Structure 1
Amino acid sequence: LGDVYKRQVVHSAELIDGHAARPVYRSTGRMWSTGVRTLERLGVLGEKYGVTFCLENLNTVLDHPGIPLARAKDTLALVEAAGHPNVKLMLDLYHAQLGEGNLIELVRTALPHIGEVQVADVPGRCEPGTGEINYAAVAKALADAGYEGTVGMEAWASGDDAEALAAFRAAFTPQDTTTFSTEGTP
């Protein structure tokens, strides 16, 4: 393994304290404090290596039943409690819509802590425009709030891949002078 990968393994082992994965189905105070401490440690490592770590919200309605601290509001609270600029929220709007709704207010509330935004429409987890989420309004809210980071599509194509990507880009093409990062997209 290269040096970068060796460092990642060492740091991962330090962070997980010997518990790589274990199912947990209810949140406890100990879980919360362990999560905060772990994120604080990640923040320090991120600062040292120039990396920002993002914690993603999930939904328990359909895709991740029983997962504690999954809602965007809970995930945001963990990120805020860690209080480190190298620990951010990966705001997954698909999961947030299923679990909470009220996406525009969520964007406004979470903005200072958002490291990346992921999109897929509901239902179906396909590209914007195939479901109930008003992505034009969400994109406007992100722009109005000053978000300049990455917006990524984590979705299935409802048909042709190129058309799905075009729909994603159209949903987040600025209607004014505000721009979003398209870094990493073809």
Structure 2
Amino acid sequence: MQRRSFLKSGLLSTGSLALAPALFANNTARQGEAFHLDYAPHQGMFNSAGKDFIDQIKYMHDLGFRSIEDNGMPSRSVQEQTKIGETLAKLDMRMGVFVVPKGGNGANTLAAKKKEHVDIFLDGCRKSVEIAKRCNAKWATVVPGNFERSLPLAVQTANVIEALRRGAEIFEPHGLTMVLEPLSDSPDLFLRYTAQTYEICKAVNSPSCKILFDAYHIQKNEGNLIKNMELCWDEIPYIQVGDNPGRKEPTTGEVNYKNVFKFLYEKGYKGVVGMEHGMSKSGKEGEERLVQAYREVDDFL
């Protein structure tokens, strides 16, 4: 399972900035070679390919990436959604997550059991079915919104479960899965922890309601990444990453992504690993650093 040679391991362990050009030259020679895990960039990571997202997708494929993410897919025109789907199909690439329109974020909370909030969520689910058909998506991100602090926590949880069951009923006939994402952006957000999300998914009891495990948010909220994935593994079909602090590419923060990705690889994970983060450097230099970082952690597998 370990493919790296002693020499390669020694070079990577030095961390010398002087090695970066040589490492990227090796990456360039390997353009088109797929990674061991299915990392998914998003628009704006490879602007050197041009402003057009289709051109960026083709360039991502040339670099060895085999999936993309696009949170803002619902805001694109029908024509552009369709074109993206056709491009991905031709390149044999997968579409990762997009965000369900008005999917409960912020003050529009499913925890309150307010009809207007639930109606907005369900309308977003219906729209997501059509969006997914155009771009060949299988997953859509949902965040239940903020706490409703006038209600007991157990009642809020029951309200969220009830709303999500109704959303799952919309998704199930179409093979679309909403993935619930615990976030660290604000303590006002209802969904923040892995075990909490696991409990909700078990209660919804649908193949169309699962967990989006974003390692950046989980590292901030509770840490213990591998253990939390292990505990909730049967409800996690989708992973996102970003190093902490800073939310940049792996190797820029405190998370040992070599170990995290080794865990995923040895579990036989075949899903998408969304690159839900920024970049430590700008321009072409940043793109080279990004690819170098993913090659480094992926070569560990």
Q: Does 1:84 align with 2:172?
A: no
Is 2:223 the counterpart of 1:101? yes
- The range that moved more, 140-149 or 117-126, is 140-149
| 8 Å contact kept, 2:243–2:251 | yes
**1:56 maps to which residue?**
181
| In 1, Cα distance between equivalents of 2:169 and 2:204 | 10
Report the number of matched residues.
165
- Residue 120 (structure 1) shift: 0.5
- Deviation of 1:145 after TM superposition, in Å, equals 2.0
Q: Output the CA distance in 2 between the equivalents of 1:71 and 1:79.
A: 12
Equivalent in the alignment of 1:17: 115
| Structure 1 counterpart of 2:263 | 141
Does 2:232 correspond to 1:110? yes
Pair 1:37-2:135 in alignment: no
CA distance, structure 1, for counterparts of residue 238 and residue 175 of structure 2: 16
Shift in Å at residue 115 of structure 1? 2.4
Distance between the aligned counterparts of 2:269 and 2:161, measured in 1?
25
Q: Is contact 2:179–2:211 with CA below 8 Å preserved after alignment?
A: yes
TM-score (norm 2): 0.49
Change (3 A) 1:40 1:125: same
TM superposition score normalised by structure 1 = 0.76
Q: Which residue identity does 1:146 align to in structure 2? A: G
Q: Which has the higher helix share?
A: 2
Give, in angstroms, the shift of residue 112 of structure 1: 1.3
Written as runs of structure 1 = structure 2, the 5 A alignment for 1:129-168 is: 129-160=251-282, 161-167=286-292
Q: Matches of 2:167 and 2:293 in 1, distance apart?
A: 31
1:80 Cα deviation after fit: 1.8
Distance 1:109 1:174 in 2: 26
Q: For the structure 1 residues 80 and 23, does the alpha-carbon distance in structure 2 shift closer, same or farther, using more than 3 Å as the test? A: closer
User: SS of the counterpart of 2:238?
Assistant: strand
Structure 1 runs of 4+ with >4 Å offset: 20-23
Matched letter for residue 40 of structure 1: R
Counterpart CA distance in 2 for 1:165 and 1:17 is 44
Structure number with larger C-alpha Rg: 2
- Seen in structure 2, the aligned counterparts of structure 1 residues 35 and 25 have a Cα distance that, compared at 3 Å, is closer
In structure 2, distance between residues paired with 1:81 and 1:90? 16
- Structure showing greater relative contact order (alpha-carbon pairs closer than 8 Å, 6 or more residues apart): 2
Sequence identity (%): 33
Residue ranges of structure 1 left out of the alignment (5+ in a row)? 3-7, 177-186
Change in Cα spacing, 1:146 to 1:51, as seen in structure 2 (3 Å) is same
| 1:124 corresponds to | 246
Contact 1:107 1:142 in 2 (8 A): no
Q: Is the 8 A contact 1:139 1:171 kept in 2?
A: no
